[in-house]
């Protein structure tokens, strides 16, 4: 399950406390902080595991100086991951919020990861959509 807290309708957007369970009793807690309206944009410490006992840690640093480059990466991967998660016809306007998850999943696919294996371990987004749509 994924619990993503998102404050909408404000100048500052915060997405924090991404809790992801890899089939174990203990949860891996990831803090994804995305602050808007500030000079620096930071998304760090995304922990994601692809079928391994140990968790692979990926640091996605999104700073003002790399904003344009990061945005291109997101645009490039967004459609492929959206199709992977939801199919061709079902669209979600909130897709842009999933930038960290999208890049991690798609980069895993690009590096030769099994689609079925990734799908069985992909982060569940239902709580996220409930939160953002409420």
Q: What is the 3-state secondary structure (H, E, C) of the chain?
A: CCCCEECCCCCCCCEECEEECCCCCCCEEECCCCCCCCCCCCCCCEEECCCCCCCEEECCCCCHHHHHHHHHHHHHHHHHHHHHHHCCCCCCHHHHHHHHHHHHHHHHHHCCCCHHHHHHHCCCCHHHHHHHHC
Model pTM score: 0.20
- Average pLDDT along the chain: 39
What are the angstrom distances between the C-alpha of 130 and each of 5, 17, 22, 94?
10, 16, 22, 12
- Averaged pLDDT for residues 67-78: 44
The residue-averaged pLDDT of 15-36 equals 31
- pLDDT of 111 reads 55
pLDDT digits (tens, 9 = 90+) for 77-113: 444 445 444 444 445 544 444 545 555 555 555 555 5
pLDDT at 101: 55
Q: How confident is the model over 4-22, as a mean pLDDT?
A: 32
Higher pLDDT residue, 67 or 30? 67
The predicted pLDDT at position 56 comes to: 27
């Amino acid at each position: 399950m994924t619990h993503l807290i998102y404050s909408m309708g404000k100048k500052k957007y915060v997405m924090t406390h991404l809790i992801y369970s890899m089939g174990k009793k203990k949860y891996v807690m990831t803090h994804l902080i995305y602050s808007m309206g500030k000079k620096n944009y930071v998304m760090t410490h995304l922990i994601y595991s692809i079928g391994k006992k140990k968790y692979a840690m990926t640091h996605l640093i999104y700073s003002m100086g790399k904003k344009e480059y990061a945005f291109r990466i997101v645009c490039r991967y967004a459609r492929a991951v959206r199709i992977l998660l939801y199919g061709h016809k079902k669209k979600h306007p909130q897709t842009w919020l999933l930038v960290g998850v999208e890049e991690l999943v798609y980069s895993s696919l690009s590096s030769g990861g099994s689609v079925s294996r990734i799908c069985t371990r992909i982060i569940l987004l239902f709580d996220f959509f409930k939160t953002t749509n409420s």
